[in-house]
Structure 1
Amino acid sequence: MENKDHVAIELEDMVKNVQPLFQRCTIYKVPDEIRLSNEDAYTPMAVSIGPLHHRKNPKLASMEPQKMIYFRHFIESRSKVRLTDLVSLVRELEPQIRACYSEEIPFTVDEFVKIILVDCCFVIEFFIRQGEFLVPGTTRLTTTIEDDLIFSKPWLRGRITYDLLLLENQLPFFVFHKLYTLVRGSNSSSVITRDYEFHPFFMLISFHLIHFIDPNIHELHSSSWSSSSSPPPHEIVLHFTDMMRFLYLPQSHSHRQPSRKSRELFVHGASELDEVGIKFESRYRSKSVLALEYEYGVLAMPRIWLSEDWSEIVLRNILALEHCHYPTQHYVFDYVDFISQLIDKDKDVDILVENGIINHLLGDNKKVAELFRGLKRNIMVSNCNADYLRISKDLDAYYEDPWHKRLATLKRWKATATIGGIVLLLLTVIQTVFSILQVVL
């Protein structure tokens, strides 16, 4: 019998027990190289949800009593089942929930079940309290909300809403769906939207609240309630960060997305394109925030709204999700990459602002270009949206056309001549003034 080295034996045991990483996970710790670019954009500031930030930040401890108040109200006033039934449901789902996280969770089964159940009930109660006042056609389950710390402080309610979009601050959506369906019962778990499709009530209100967070998304569907602005089936979205990404993508009944090609994107700056005669057009109605169209020398795109409060937080967490979970379907990154090249210089931003494409509250136009450049930092990709590649190729062909280049040269000469004329006029005025002074003196 062959005598094996003890190291070989230990290695064989290690190989037998090894498990593939990230085989089912959907909720990730943001990679350090991405997080370092703006750590605050990935870190909850008001409330921790799920296990990744539980008890990690003392500043979030003050929200724990309020979470328990919401939990108690949800159990006592909303639930049609016993607390033991809810615990049993989460305990049954515990292995499946734990597998959704890319990090090893250090909590015991009992601790984990308590974290998931309390946080789920808190989020559902939080969304319902907002949804009763925001979602059309829903029946109020609460007539008055008294002594509510969160709703008495609008800034805190807003901060919590943003925290619920952070990639590290997520719970799997299937837990919310199963829990809410159990609590409300099968007869009241759905409502009918105006397009007569049934959607779980919780899915509907969470969709609406996230829909209203981003003016870029809200503007696309503000005129009517259509199938394109209806919530997706609960099986499609992974969690709230994923739902936000879903709202950015082109929607269709088949949920097909644009094709992709393995090629690096190159886009001329807006000021360069403007010089050769490219026109920029703001589209108020479009099939998607990401929908860019080019035809006959006109580049059209939906209006871009930017705010210091939400823009960077939302986009950074969507890009982090794409980096971790959608490495070959990073459609939002492709959009950010296209826009960042289009506005590489301050004067590029000036062009898009003047044409009504960019509206922002960042102070000056320079910060817009800095924002988009910062979003891309330390994210590597291997392919690109084929539609964007086609548009960039068409723009480049227009830019390289000899006639259009001559037009750009004429514009520069005209600008130079205008500046020269102004300088000449000033020199003439100065010379005249000196001549008058000489005569007087």
Structure 2
Amino acid sequence: MERRNPNDVFIKINALLEEAQPRFSKECCIYRVPNNIRKLNEDAYTPDVVSIGPFHHGNQNLLDMEGQKRLYCRQFIERSETKNLESLVSCVQELEAKVRGCYSHDIKLSKEELVMVILVDSCFILELLFKFYFFLTHGDNSILFPDQIMQHIQKDLLLVENQVPFFVLDKLYNLAFPSTLNADDLHNHPLLLRLIAFIIPTYIFPFDKVMLLLPDVGRIAHFIDLIRKLLLKSSQLFQPSCSREAQVTQLYSATELHELGVKFEVNKNTQCLLDLQLSAHTLRIPFIRVHDWTELLLRNLLAFEQCHYIHESYLTDYILFLDFLINTDKDVDLLIKKGIIENWLGDSNAVAKIFNGLGVNLIYPDFNVKYSHIFEELNSFCAHPWNKKVATLKRDYCNTPWKTVASITAIFLLILTIIQTIFSVLQVVH
């Protein structure tokens, strides 16, 4: 048997070690959803009709949109002030290394292929936003998609794996429309942030609220990061920043809290989902509408937080709160009755399953202090012996209208019996 030279092994191992590169760069902000989270609902993280960026590029189910993306890319270049494809290509070429570093997994595309993918996808998004903007503001019906496909495209643009870095959109837009940087008349070419406002779901933020918050959101990584930043920026609870030194504590369900004397109201003083408020024994929760897109958007926001903001996971805290609060359809029915949840799914059990499933396999290395104080006050109130006795009475004797009537009747008869006995004794004594 031929003996290997030890030096050959050393050279090979040394070469492998020299070739090793860090998996994550400081620019990393676009992630593949971890498998332990993705497997819970594959469809929530997978685009339906259009791939954006390299992660889903080449997917056989999405190839039908490639021609449409190139058409929109060409239309964007024709719309631009410069109409210069070469300058746009050069821009993306200069950014290629930085763009590659934005993705968490190795990209099996050459430099030229990645430049083409990012350029076409970015210009497609910008042209789509233009068409959407002019459709909503000027009634220009130039969007070449049926309403159903357009809704799927909007949804696909909000998936954490289906993103391009925002700085690419910004660079290309400014290069295509240099007049927007200093012009007073932005009627034909609005600021990029104004275009992006139309991609934010109105059930999360009203349009006018988005326009007020956008200038102050700071550096944006991509659309999912933008929605998360808008949530935190609009919150009254997390201003300026909230300490996260607390640990997670258990909380009673909504029906249990209600039986123990906690009142539920809609928090009408905020438009942010995260703004919980406890006053005495009244818990105020912001209104939330639950429909077909709710789970998808929340899952992608949570996945992004788990990958990028694990120690600032304020949305994860909110989902944990709802997971504790909602165990069964009875909890959902109570919150619907109080006007906190608007159920567009029709089935209360389906809503319960959504919120019970969102918190599965999430990591909670810490917990925000303000929520922790609310949990502690609620648990302290519920642990009071008198409140427990009242809850037991309600559960055993007043849990249905008939039982309530029967209990009141029994108490009334008991009182009458006692009065009659007292009068009988007094009569005998007299």
TM-score range, shorter chain: 0.7 to 0.9
Q: Deviations over 1:11-36 (max 9, x none)?
A: 44444443222123111111111111
Give the superposition deviation at 1:265: 3.2
Q: Could you tell me how far apart the structure 2 residues matched to 1:370 and 1:269 are?
A: 14
Contact in 2 for aligned 1:210/1:244 (Cα 8 Å): no
- Helix, strand or coil: the match of 1:246? helix
- Helix, strand or coil: the match of 1:68? helix
Contact in 2 for aligned 1:328/1:383 (Cα 8 Å): yes
Please identify, of 116-125 and 257-266, the stretch whose mean Cα deviation from structure 2 is larger. 257-266
- Say which of 14, 20, 23 aligns to 2:22: 20
Q: Which residue of 2 aligns with 1:408?
A: 391
Tell me: CA distance 1:83–1:133, structure 2 relative to 1, closer, same or farther (3 Å).
same
Q: Which residue of 2 aligns with 1:260?
A: 244
Structure 2 counterparts to residues 303-322 of structure 1, below 5 A: 303-308=287-292, 310-322=293-305
Q: Deviations over 1:169-202 (max 9, x none)?
A: 1000000001100100144577799xxxxx9711
Q: Which residue of 2 aligns with 1:301?
A: 285
- Helix, strand or coil: the match of 2:285? strand
Q: Which residue of 2 aligns with 1:428?
A: none
- Say which of 195, 199, 208 aligns to 1:205: 195
Give the aligned residue type for 1:372. F
Tell me: CA distance 1:250–1:393, structure 2 relative to 1, closer, same or farther (3 Å).
farther
Q: Are residue 149 (structure 1) and residue 152 (structure 2) matched?
A: no
How many pairs were matched up? 399
- The gaps in structure 1 that reach 5 residues or longer are 194-198, 425-441
Q: Could you tell me how far apart the structure 1 residues matched to 2:340 and 2:223 are?
A: 28
Tell me: CA distance 1:62–1:404, structure 2 relative to 1, closer, same or farther (3 Å).
same
Q: Which residue of 2 aligns with 1:435?
A: none
Please identify, of 415-424 and 294-303, the stretch whose mean Cα deviation from structure 2 is larger. 415-424
Q: Could you tell me how far apart the structure 1 residues matched to 2:71 and 2:252 are?
A: 54
Q: Could you tell me how far apart the structure 2 residues matched to 1:390 and 1:169 are?
A: 37
Q: Could you tell me how far apart the structure 2 residues matched to 1:357 and 1:341 are?
A: 16
Give the aligned residue type for 1:259. S
Q: Which residue of 1 aligns with 2:423?
A: none
Q: Which residue of 2 aligns with 1:389?
A: 372
Tell me: CA distance 1:367–1:285, structure 2 relative to 1, closer, same or farther (3 Å).
same
Contact in 2 for aligned 1:180/1:189 (Cα 8 Å): no
Q: Deviations over 1:315-345 (max 9, x none)?
A: 1111110111111111111101101110112
Structure 2 counterparts to residues 22-421 of structure 1, below 5 A: 22-24=24-26, 25-56=28-59, 58-134=60-136, 144-146=140-142, 148-150=143-145, 153-187=146-180, 201-206=191-196, 208-211=197-200, 213-218=201-206, 227=212, 229-232=213-216, 236-251=219-234, 256-286=240-270, 288-308=272-292, 310-415=293-398, 419=402
Q: Could you tell me how far apart the structure 1 residues matched to 2:380 and 2:359 are?
A: 26
Q: Could you tell me how far apart the structure 1 residues matched to 2:295 and 2:56 are?
A: 21
Q: Could you tell me how far apart the structure 1 residues matched to 2:392 and 2:141 are?
A: 66
Contact in 2 for aligned 1:265/1:338 (Cα 8 Å): no
Give the aligned residue type for 1:369. A
- Helix, strand or coil: the match of 2:205? helix
Give the aligned residue type for 2:258. D
Q: Could you tell me how far apart the structure 1 residues matched to 2:123 and 2:182 are?
A: 15
Give the aligned residue type for 1:109. K
Tell me: CA distance 1:383–1:377, structure 2 relative to 1, closer, same or farther (3 Å).
same
Please identify, of 371-380 and 11-20, the stretch whose mean Cα deviation from structure 2 is larger. 11-20
- The gaps in structure 2 that reach 5 residues or longer are 408-430
Tell me: CA distance 1:68–1:394, structure 2 relative to 1, closer, same or farther (3 Å).
same
Q: Over alpha carbons, which structure has the higher Rg?
A: 2
Tell me: CA distance 1:214–1:333, structure 2 relative to 1, closer, same or farther (3 Å).
farther
Please identify, of 282-291 and 58-67, the stretch whose mean Cα deviation from structure 2 is larger. 282-291
Give the superposition deviation at 1:363: 2.0
- Helix, strand or coil: the match of 1:73? helix
Contact in 1 for aligned 2:235/2:274 (Cα 8 Å): no
- Helix, strand or coil: the match of 2:104? coil
Please identify, of 119-128 and 256-265, the stretch whose mean Cα deviation from structure 2 is larger. 256-265
Q: Could you tell me how far apart the structure 2 residues matched to 1:128 and 1:273 are?
A: 49
Tell me: CA distance 1:387–1:192, structure 2 relative to 1, closer, same or farther (3 Å).
farther
Cα-Cα RMSD: 2.8
Tell me: CA distance 1:145–1:134, structure 2 relative to 1, closer, same or farther (3 Å).
closer
- Helix, strand or coil: the match of 1:55? coil
Give the superposition deviation at 1:66: 1.2
Contact in 1 for aligned 2:290/2:343 (Cα 8 Å): yes
Q: Could you tell me how far apart the structure 2 residues matched to 1:350 and 1:417 are?
A: 15
Contact in 2 for aligned 1:265/1:384 (Cα 8 Å): no
Tell me: CA distance 1:325–1:180, structure 2 relative to 1, closer, same or farther (3 Å).
same
Contact in 1 for aligned 2:214/2:230 (Cα 8 Å): no
Give the aligned residue type for 1:332. L
Give the superposition deviation at 1:278: 0.7
Tell me: CA distance 1:417–1:184, structure 2 relative to 1, closer, same or farther (3 Å).
closer
Q: Could you tell me how far apart the structure 2 residues matched to 1:261 and 1:323 are?
A: 17
Give the superposition deviation at 1:145: 4.9
